[in-house]
Each structure stands twice: as structure tokens, then as C-alpha cells.
């Protein structure tokens, strides 16, 4: 058994094919990893297909963490993992598959075991079965090879993995199939938070602002340079302001349909955290409907803007050129020492035209356009539980927000649905809201979830609606 460093000492960073290479034909592959990615699973399947001896189907088993897999919270990941599971079913034996492990806490094991007709290899260490883990990150692992049937340290460890560890792991796992609709209500804070999405508002003007790269002394002066620029100078001009601004102020004087507003707030289904507004998958349908209504209300304005930008590039660019010339004249007249390098030699117009084309490409991208109209972005919850500091920050910000919402509820009846549901199930009263500490609150939530495994802690709010 050899101790190896993937980057700093031994330089043993390899592809999955190289990592699992043994003498002779491959018969079984076992990968246990806290995290993985679709690319690596696909490579494992291809390796199993090409490295086995054709006399029998190979065994390929992949064990990954249930909560961090994204299978139950991300439809794209679910589809991709089911596709991989179908490939495994096609090319490997019936004992093969992708297994989602539920240990209660963080499943953080990493182990690779490949066995063939001549040799077997065991790798244990810090290396996740991801493209970065295998090829880029610095990892430290024990890597051992032995002959099949030989006595020795490596053989004894492989026997323990196969006969003791994997059977117990399988008991705590769900196998992915094409028919899988796997879902288990969370029993820990980690599972609870990973079983959700993070939402955050984006700055609507950002996609339509062109950076001017003005001299530092201009920005520091906070002077009023042009009607198209804010009084407190921001180093960018809005193309929307150029189009809709009054003609006497350097705009084109065009008007669009009003940007509509939806009545219901998506935030009422969220809890604010240090990473954004978190919402459990339990309210996914409600938030999806609210966002659809918001999109429908706002889209006519953006549709008008998109059409105008696509059909009037030359007109808008001419207006920008006039604006930039006026701005340069002002700088030359009032700031004699300032040098606007970005303007000289036609560089500003060249940058503008490139930026304009990029903006049009983004507007033609369906996903980008959808999120731009909403003014809201969302992402899977990051699995930060291997970092104690990030874990504490995330969990404490969640718990502190709950306590804040509860303190408001007794005075003005908070509309925060998730917070109300948790308070109802935990039977939180005014004294609890004032006195309970984060650690005790976390324990009460997890204790309730373990006791009520067939129910969601958010369920009471839905019944009340």
C-alpha cells in the first residue's frame, strides 16, 4: 500500500481509466464518493465496457451522497443520472447501479476498488470521483495493488470493504432506476437546507450598462458630467437611458410599455440566509407559479426593448457616439489633466459595438432572457458542510432569520410561510422566540424531523392555506 500525492509529491493525477488500471481483464468496479459528476460516471461506464473480458458482464457500483447529489432537487441532474443508470443497466450486470446513500449526516467517504481476473486495486483517501478531484486538485490517497486470492494487507482491506462496509452502505441507499421517484423527508439540518433552492434578485440594469472606463480623478470628483449619467458618477451608461431619455438631454425620446408588477411575493416562501433567500422544495410549485406571473407581467416591456435593440443598432450606436463625444469635450474642458485612454483612437466605439453584439446574443438566449425578465436568479444550495466555518455561517443565518421572523409575528403577523410552518410544528411560543439559542433550535428542528419521517416540517403551512 503506497501513500500518494496527486500534485505535490508523486504527481499521480490521472484520468479514471489510468487510476483504475490493473493487469488482466476487469470484472468489478466499486466507486464510493461524497461527490461526483456526470462526466466521471460516463467515463466509468465506458471503462467498464472496454476493460472487461467479454465472457461475462462487468459489475459497476457507484455510491454517492443522497443530499448533495442534486437528484431530488435538480431536474437536469435527475435526468442525467437516470440516463447514466440506464447505460449501466445496459452494459453491466444486475448488481450494478448508482446508489444514493443516506447516513443522516454528511456522507464523506472516498474509496475506489477495481477487481479483475489477475489483479485488484484499492484506493482510499481524499479524492472525490469528479473531474477536478481526479485531474486538478491536490489529493492524498493510499493506493494498493495485489494479486487475486493473495493474502496480505491490501487483500484483507478489500475483503472488509466487500463483505462488511458495502452491504451496510447498500442498506442505507436507494438505487436509481428509470422509474425512480426517490424522496425522503430531511432528518438533519444539512438535508433540510440542501433540499431547497437559493433565490436572489439581480440588478436589472446590469445587462444594459456599458462600462466607460472613465479616469479615476473624474470618478473621485463626483461631478455632474452629463444628463445620461447619475449625479454620483457610476462608470457606466445605460443603453435604456439612451433610448428613453429626453431628446434635449441626449436621449432618443422613445417609450416602451410599462413594466408590470405581480401581486404576490416569492419571498414569503423563503428564509433569508447569508447565501441568499432559501426556499424548501416543498414550496417549489408555489414559487414557480409566482415567478411565472412575474414573468408574464414584466415580459411585454422587455419584449419591446429587445425588438428595439435588435432593429435599431445603428441608430442607438450613433446616439452613443454623440453622447461619448459630448462627455469627452466636457472632460477636456473641465479636467485638463485627466486622460480618458479608453476613448482615444476609436477604442471606445469599438468596445461599444462588441458589447452591443454580446448583449444581443444574450437576449436571444432563452434561459438568459427568462432570468433577465424576472430579475431573479436561483441556484442549488452549495454543500458547504465539509467547511465548519461556512457551515456555521449558513446554518446560523438561517436560524437567526427564523427567530427574527417569529419575533415579528407576535407584533404584526409575519407573512413568512416557511417560518410560520416551522413555528407551528415546533409549537414555538413567544418565550421560545425570545430565548431559544441557535444550537437548541437546530436540535429541536432535527428532533422533530427524525420523529416525523413521513411528514414535512413545512406541511402545516400548506394545510392552513
pLDDT in tens, 293-313: 999 999 999 999 999 999 999
Q: Could you tell me if residue 299 is inside a domain?
A: yes
- Residue 375 sits in the same domain as residue 249: yes
Could you say which residues of the chain have pLDDT below 70? 12-13, 204-205, 222-223, 231-233, 409-414, 430-434, 461-465
Task: Kindly state whether residues 233 and 164 are assigned to the same domain.
Answer: no
Tell whether 403 and 370 lie within a shared domain. Answer: no
Q: Which three cell numbers stand for residue 408?
A: 415579528
Q: Is the pTM of this model over 0.85?
A: no
Residue 188 inside a domain? The answer is: no
3-class state of residue 93 by DSSP: coil
Confidence (pLDDT) at 462: 43
Interacting residues of 102 by C-beta distance below 8 A, sequence separation 6+: 66, 67, 172, 173, 174, 184
Task: Give the pLDDT score at 261.
Answer: 83
Residues 93/58, Cβ–Cβ less than 8 Å: yes
Alpha-carbon span 279 to 266, nearest angstrom: 9
- The domain in which residue 66 lies consists of 2-181
Residue 193 falls within a domain, yes or no? no
> Which residues touch 310 (CB under 8 Å, ≥6 apart)?
360, 363
How many domains does the chain contain in total? 3
Angle, CA 114 vertex, CA 113 and CA 117 arms, to 5°:
140
The three cell numbers locating residue 53: 473480458
165 with 276, same domain? no
Name the grid cell of 223.
461631478
- Whether 287 and 268 share a structural domain: yes
In b/e form, how buried is each residue of 103-138, taking b as 16+ CB within 10 angstroms?
eeebbeebbbbbbbeebbbbbbbebbbbbebbbeee
Say if residue 53 is in the same domain as residue 106.
Answer: yes
How long, in residues, is the chain? 465
Q: Do the beta carbons of residue 140 and residue 4 sit within 8 Å? A: yes
pLDDT in tens, 109-150: 999 999 999 999 999 999 999 998 888 888 889 999 999 888
> What was the pLDDT predicted at 184?
86
Residue 171 and residue 300 share a domain: no
Q: Which residues contact 124 (CB under 8 A, 6 or more apart)?
A: 110, 111, 112, 141, 142, 157
What is the per-residue pLDDT for 19? 87
Amino acid at each position: 500500500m503506497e501513500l500518494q500525492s496527486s500534485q505535490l509529491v508523486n504527481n499521480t493525477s490521472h484520468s479514471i481509466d489510468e487510476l483504475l488500471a490493473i493487469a488482466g481483464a476487469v470484472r468489478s468496479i466499486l466507486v464510493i464518493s461524497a461527490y461526483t459528476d456526470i462526466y466521471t460516471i460516463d467515463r466509468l461506464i465506458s471503462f467498464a465496457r472496454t476493460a472487461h473480458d467479454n465472457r461475462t458482464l462487468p459489475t459497476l457500483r457507484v455510491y454517492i451522497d443522497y443530499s448533495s447529489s442534486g437528484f431530488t432537487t435538480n431536474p437536469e441532474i435527475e435526468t442525467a443520472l437516470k440516463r447514466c443508470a440506464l447505460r449501466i443497466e445496459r452494459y453491466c450486470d444486475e448488481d450494478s447501479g448508482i446508489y444514493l446513500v443516506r447516513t443522516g449526516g454528511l456522507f464523506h467517504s472516498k474509496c475506489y476498488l477495481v477487481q479483475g481476473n489477475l489483479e485488484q486495486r484499492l484506493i482510499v483517501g481524499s479524492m472525490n470521483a469528479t473531474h477536478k478531484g481526479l485531474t486538478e486538485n491536490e489529493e492524498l490517497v493510499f493506493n494498493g495493488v495485489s494479486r487475486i486470492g493473495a493474502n496480505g494487507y491490501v487483500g484483507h482491506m478489500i475483503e472488509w470493504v466487500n463483505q462488511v462496509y458495502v452491504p451496510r452502505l447498500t442498506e442505507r441507499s436507494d438505487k436509481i432506476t428509470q422509474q425512480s421517484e426517490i424522496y425522503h423527508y430531511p432528518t438533519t439540518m444539512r438535508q433540510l437546507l440542501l433540499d431547497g433552492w437559493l433565490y436572489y434578485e439581480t440588478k436589472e440594469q446590469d445587462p444594459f450598462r456599458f462600462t466607460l472606463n472613465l479616469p479615476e480623478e473624474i470618478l473621485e470628483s463626483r461631478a455632474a458630467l452629463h444628463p445620461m449619467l447619475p449625479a454620483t458618477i457610476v462608470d457606466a451608461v445605460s443603453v435604456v437611458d439612451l433610448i428613453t431619455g429626453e431628446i434635449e438631454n441626449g436621449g432618443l425620446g422613445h417609450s416602451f410599455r410599462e413594466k408590470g408588477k405581480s401581486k404576490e411575493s416569492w419571498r414569503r416562501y423563503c428564509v433569508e440566509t447569508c447565501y441568499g433567500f432559501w426556499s424548501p422544495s416543498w414550496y417549489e410549485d408555489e414559487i414557480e407559479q409566482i415567478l411565472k406571473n412575474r414573468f408574464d407581467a414584466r415580459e411585454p416591456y422587455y419584449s419591446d426593448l429587445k425588438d428595439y435593440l435588435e432593429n435599431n443598432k445603428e441608430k442607438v450606436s450613433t446616439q452613443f457616439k454623440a453622447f461619448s463625444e459630448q462627455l469627452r469635450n466636457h472632460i477636456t474642458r473641465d479636467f485638463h489633466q485627466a486622460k480618458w485612454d479608453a476613448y482615444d483612437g476609436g477604442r471606445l466605439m469599438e468596445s461599444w459595438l462588441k458589447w452591443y453584439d454580446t448583449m444581443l446574443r444574450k437576449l436571444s438566449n432563452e434561459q438568459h432572457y427568462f432570468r433577465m425578465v424576472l430579475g431573479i436568479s436561483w441556484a442549488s444550495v452549495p454543500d458547504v458542510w465539509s467547511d465548519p466555518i461556512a457551515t456555521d455561517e449558513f446554518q446560523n443565518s438561517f436560524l437567526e432569520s427564523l427567530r427574527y421572523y417569529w419575533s415579528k409575528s407576535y407584533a404584526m403577523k409575519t407573512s413568512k410561510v416557511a417560518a410560520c410552518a416551522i413555528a407551528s410544528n415546533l409549537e414555538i411560543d413567544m418565550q421560545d422566540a425570545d430565548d431559544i439559542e441557535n444550537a437548541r433550535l437546530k436540535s429541536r428542528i432535527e428532533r422533530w424531523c427524525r420523529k416525523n419521517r413521513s411528514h414535512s416540517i413545512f406541511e402545516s403551512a400548506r394545510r392552513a392555506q
